[in-house]
Structure 1
Amino acid sequence: MLSCNIGVSQTVISEGFKLEVENAAKKLSLENPEFSDPVMVNASTVWNKSRDKVAVVVKASILSGWHIYAYVPQTQPYIQYDMVLEAPEGWEALGEWEAPKPYPYEQGIMIYKGIITFTKYFEVKNHSNKNLTAGLFYQTCNINQCLRPNQKVINLNI
């Protein structure tokens, strides 16, 4: 699994930029999930006007009746989701991933269902690298079965 070890800064993101990112996330298209592939993932970047900050948006659509795990207690066998991110050198994280509110499930488990969006903001100090990989690692289940863990990533040329 890919990981991101980027320092966290205390820079504040303007409300205007957050609104711009939220609107872009709503417009980010997704393929329709199917029974054979119940989770679809897409990703994009949204830059502020001065191009010194960027938001990475990862959006997923989960087929009705299916879910992925937002939180799994250690006593349960299911696999909790994880964000996948390979950000360019010179990008400094401005906090953790912003995640949607999960739904309570059973035995302390929390799940995601429907359309979900994750966002992470960065301050950009170096524009030389033009590649970014972002996505989602997850296990999806319905009431009858769980599928093998899967990872879907999007390679973005920025």
Structure 2
Amino acid sequence: MKNALRLFVLIIYLYGGNNAIAQIDKIDSDLEMMVEMEQMDLVTSKPTAMDPLSYNAKVVWSENKDQLAIVLKADLLNNWQIYAYASDASAYITTEIRFEAPKGLEPIGDWQKPIAKPYSEGVEIFKGEIFFVRYYKVVDGVKFVKPIKCGLYYQACDPNQCFPPKTKTVDLQF
């Protein structure tokens, strides 16, 4: 009985409203709203038949600068797709986000990705306008002195052809 009571007290302590540990993983709701607005404003170049994926990324800061979000946008030409998941048995390449967070940024959760569409057995795809978002806690005293590359590694295909895998990057200014 004592152990159950101790566990209950520990749970209340860890998840209580006054606990800093519980608040670390909470994303600032104003930042989430700013990210939604920035997604609408984030511009990519127009995709073409020779380059069917256009790409851009941006850093969005919270008001008090204790959190930030990395927002990536990919825009695919009509009838083109990239791969959300491709099994090892598949000939397709799974899309990867290429971003190495600098010291001083601690992720809050994983990358938020759009819902993938089933394509064939063991393969899921993304089409159209795609957003990826990841939130970070900013550790006190961190200094960003140079831009950091943020990229997308992908393979674009249409019903008739697949291009070789490619990486596109953008320099993010903090």
TM-score (norm 2): 0.82
Partner SS for 1:147: coil
Higher relative contact order (CA 8 A, sep 6+): 1
Question: What RMSD in Å do the two structures reach over aligned CA positions?
Answer: 1.4
Q: What is the percentage of aligned positions where both structures have the same residue?
A: 35
Distance 1:19 1:154 in 2: 23
* Matching residue's letter, 1:113: K
Runs of 4 or more above 6 Å deviation: none
Q: Counterpart in 2 of 1:91?
A: 105
Q: More helix by proportion, 1 or 2?
A: 2
1:17, distance to aligned residue in structure 2 (A) = 1.7
Distance 1:41 1:113 in 2: 13
In structure 2, stretches of 5+ residues that fail to align are 1-22
- Which of the residues 34, 38, 47 maps onto 1:20? 34
Q: Counterpart in 2 of 1:128?
A: 143
In structure 1, stretches of 5+ residues that fail to align are 1-8
Distance 2:32 2:50 in 1: 35
For these two proteins, the number of residue pairs brought into alignment is 150
Structure-to-structure mapping, 1:9-158, within 5 angstroms: 11-125=25-139, 126-130=141-145, 131-158=147-174
1:10, distance to aligned residue in structure 2 (A) = 5.4
TM-score (norm 1): 0.90
Larger radius of gyration: 2
Partner SS for 1:140: coil
* Matching residue's letter, 1:124: V
* Matching residue's letter, 2:72: V
8 A Cα contact 1:87 1:133, kept in partner: no
